[in-house]
């Protein structure tokens, strides 16, 4: 049975990147619908957003809603992480109990670094990254800096196409946030 997954994110690059990564494994069993397309970043935090979500959710009727947000923090910055989790609970409260929150530790670009070999091939770089991505600040800036002198420079708009080429399994094994998300996601879509 094909499950319809609703996606909300602070940037279309993030939602499209996640969609492309998930389709590597689940194509044919899930489809996606974007909600709140015109909301960006902090715009997601106003009251009108919740009203708009309630209307769109009722119209599009996804089986599951995934809300994606950058933490803009590392795993040890508990107060910032809690603030984002509280925001999520407030957003979906009264709208659906069939939702998941994907809090990206620092930025989605950390997942690119989790599969740095694919990035190296595409951008002709030789980055050797051995740190834990969950403790790494500004992965987007890091990738931009590492490609600054290349013919092909990394930019945020590259992410959706890049996520089609990244290895689902490599990211899953190198990113505990993604690994946990996949376990929860599979449980949710198999109910």
Write down the architecture of domain 3-107+159-189 according to CATH.
Answer: 3-Layer(aba) Sandwich (3.40)
Cα distances from 124 to residues 18, 93, 119, in angstroms, run 24, 45, 8
Q: Encode pLDDT of 118-167 as tens digits.
A: 999 999 999 999 889 989 999 999 999 999 999 999 999 999 999 999 99
> Rounded distance, CA 135 to CA 10, Å?
22
Q: Encode pLDDT of 57-88 as tens digits.
A: 999 999 999 999 999 999 999 999 999 999 99
Q: Decide if 110 contacts 136 (C-beta within 8 A).
A: yes
Please state, as a whole number, how many other Cβ atoms lie within 10 Å of the Cβ of residue 180: 12
Judged against a pLDDT cut of 80, whether residue 42 lies above it is answered with no
Q: Output 46 or 185, whichever has higher pLDDT.
A: 185
Domain map (residue ranges) of the chain: 3-107+159-189
pTM of the predicted model as reported, rounded to 2 decimal places: 0.92
**pLDDT value for 56:** 94
**Among 42, 189, 20, 35, which residue's Cα sits nearest to residue 108?**
20
Residue carrying structure tokens 């069993």: 29
**pLDDT value for 17:** 97
> Rounded distance, CA 76 to CA 186, Å?
27
């Amino acid at each position: 049975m094909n499950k319809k997954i609703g996606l909300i994110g602070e940037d279309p690059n993030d939602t499209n990147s996640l969609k492309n990564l998930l389709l590597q494994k689940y194509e044919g069993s899930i489809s996606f619908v974007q909600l709140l397309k015109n909301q960006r970043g902090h715009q997601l935090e106003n009251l009108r957003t919740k009203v708009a979500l309630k209307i769109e959710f009722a119209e599009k009727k996804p089986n599951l809603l995934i809300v994606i947000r950058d933490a803009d923090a590392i795993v040890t910055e508990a107060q910032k992480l809690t603030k984002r989790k509280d925001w999520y609970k407030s957003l979906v409260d009264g709208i659906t109990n069939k939702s998941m929150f994907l809090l990206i530790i620092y930025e989605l670009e950390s997942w690119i670094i989790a599969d740095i070999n694919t990035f190296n091939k595409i951008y002709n770089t030789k980055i050797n990254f051995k740190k834990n991505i969950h403790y790494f600040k500004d992965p987007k800036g890091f990738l931009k800096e590492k490609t600054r002198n290349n013919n092909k420079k990394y930019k945020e708009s590259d992410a959706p196409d890049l996520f089609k080429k990244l290895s689902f399994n490599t990211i899953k094994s190198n990113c505990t946030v993604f690994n946990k998300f996949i376990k929860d996601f599979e449980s949710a879509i198999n109910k």
